[in-house]
Amino acid sequence: MLQKIQETADFLRSKIPSNPKTGIILGTGLGNLVTQITDKTEIPYETIPNFPVSTVEGHSGKLIVGKLGDVEVLAMQGRFHYYEGYDMKAVTFPVRVMKALGIETLLVSNASGGVNPDFEIGDLMIITDHINLFPEHPLRGKNFPELGTRFPDMSEAYSKELIAKAKQIAAKNNIKVVEGVYVGTTGPTFETPAEYRYFRTIGADAVGMSTVPEVIVANHAGMRCFGISIVTDLGVPGKIVEVSHEEVQEIGNSVQPLMTLIMKELIHQA
Ligand code: HPA
């Protein structure tokens, strides 16, 4: 694995003119932020050695390096989901590569189903913590001390400092944000009403099919993390209606300019 990480990092270093310290992973249909990146170098995933190839509709699957305002960033447009069939080492491989490239702060976005009864469709939820319900742990197996410690601390998986800054940015711009715990589960089914109820019972505010593996690996690698989720549907008793991938993308699309604004300002302050 170490060799593969190095090989991929070396390849990308030869393509990338700068040394970004901020990494971004954009969720389903949430590529809007990349339109604001200037001096862009775009690298399609399929050209990157050792990278898995994203297959889900709504993911264009490329790495974009450039400037967001005056900050160098490395953004992943489209991620690798466990439900696509990749194992957890593949799902989180890009985060390993980011670390090898010198990324220190990771921002992630996703779409989720809200299970907090106070939430509304279209809410932006700042992720304060997560619950890992994936059946495979990305750090299972031999630990490489070069990558991180055997038993990583997860007491502040999402940086309190970045959360506080994001809340300030939202308030200043009159953007409604909520905060909460994200539970990561495999999908690809959306939840049954009983499953939504279960996730609420165990302490979640929203449920989705990503993010948790990447944030675990980023923490293992000593990176600071920030996560934001667009609540695209509700798993709240009395409010559960049929949900589709298209609807998830539609709601995501309508809200993402606000999310982009928060992420962009946060990157400037981070
Ligand atoms: N459940 C799981 N993942 C999701 C949902 C949901 O309701 N909405 C968007 N992603």
Q: How far apart are CA 156 and CA 113, in angstroms?
A: 23
Type of residue found at 250: E
**How sure is the predictor about 202, in pLDDT bands with cuts at 50, 70 and 90?**
very high
Q: Dihedral of CA 131/75/43/256: which sign?
A: positive
Computed over its alpha carbons, how large is the radius of gyration of the chain? 17
User: Mean of the pLDDT values across residues 210-216?
Assistant: 98
Judge whether residue 182 has pLDDT over 60: yes
Strands (E), the chain: 22-26, 37-44, 62-68, 71-77, 105-114, 124-132, 177-184, 206-208, 224-234
Which residue has the least CA distance to atom 10 on ligand 1? 112
pTM: 0.94
Most confident range (mean pLDDT) of 39-53, 214-228, 237-251 is 214-228
pLDDT score recorded for residue 56: 55
Percent of the chain scoring above 90 in pLDDT: 81
Determine the residue of 120, 209, 211 to mutate for testing ligand 1's pocket, defined as the one with the most ligand atoms within 8 A of the Cβ atom: 209
Q: How far apart are CA 178 and CA 180, in angstroms?
A: 7
pLDDT score recorded for residue 58: 45
Determine the residue of 233, 249, 250 to mutate for testing ligand 1's pocket, defined as the one with the most ligand atoms within 8 A of the Cβ atom: 233
Closest listed residue to residue 30, CA positions, set 75, 67, 68, 72: 75
Q: Is 199 exposed, middle or buried (0-12, 13-18, 19+ CB in 10 A)?
A: buried
User: Mean of the pLDDT values across residues 60-84?
Assistant: 91
214 DSSP assignment: H
Residue with tokens 């589709």: 244
Strands 71-77 vs 105-114: parallel, antiparallel or unpaired: unpaired
Judge whether residue 149 has pLDDT over 80: yes
Closest listed residue to residue 28, CA positions, set 268, 245, 177: 245
Q: How far apart are CA 167 and CA 180, in angstroms?
A: 13
- Cα of 111 vs centre of ligand 1, distance in Å, is 6
What are the beta bridge partners of residue 68? 37, 71
Judge whether residue 48 has pLDDT over 90: yes
Judge whether residue 94 has pLDDT over 50: yes
Question: Could you give all domains of the chain from N- to C-terminal order, each with its CATH number?
Answer: 2-269 (3.40.50.1580)
Judge whether residue 52 has pLDDT over 90: no
Judge whether residue 54 has pLDDT over 60: no
- Cα of 129 vs centre of ligand 1, distance in Å, is 17
Which residue has the least CA distance to atom 3 on ligand 1? 208
Could you give phi then psi for residue 149, rounded to 5 degrees?
Answer: -80, 155
- Cα of 203 vs centre of ligand 1, distance in Å, is 16
Read off the tokens for 31: 């590529």
**How sure is the predictor about 139, in pLDDT bands with cuts at 50, 70 and 90?**
very high
Q: Is the Cβ atom of 209 under 6 angstroms away from ligand 1?
A: yes
Lowest mean pLDDT among 4-8, 32-36, 152-156, 203-207: 32-36
Residue with tokens 């990176």: 223
What are the beta bridge partners of residue 126? 179, 228
Q: How far apart are CA 229 and CA 171, in angstroms?
A: 17
- Cα of 62 vs centre of ligand 1, distance in Å, is 23
Q: Is the Cβ atom of 251 under 6 angstroms away from ligand 1?
A: no
Average pLDDT of the chain, as a whole number: 93
Judge whether residue 117 has pLDDT over 50: yes
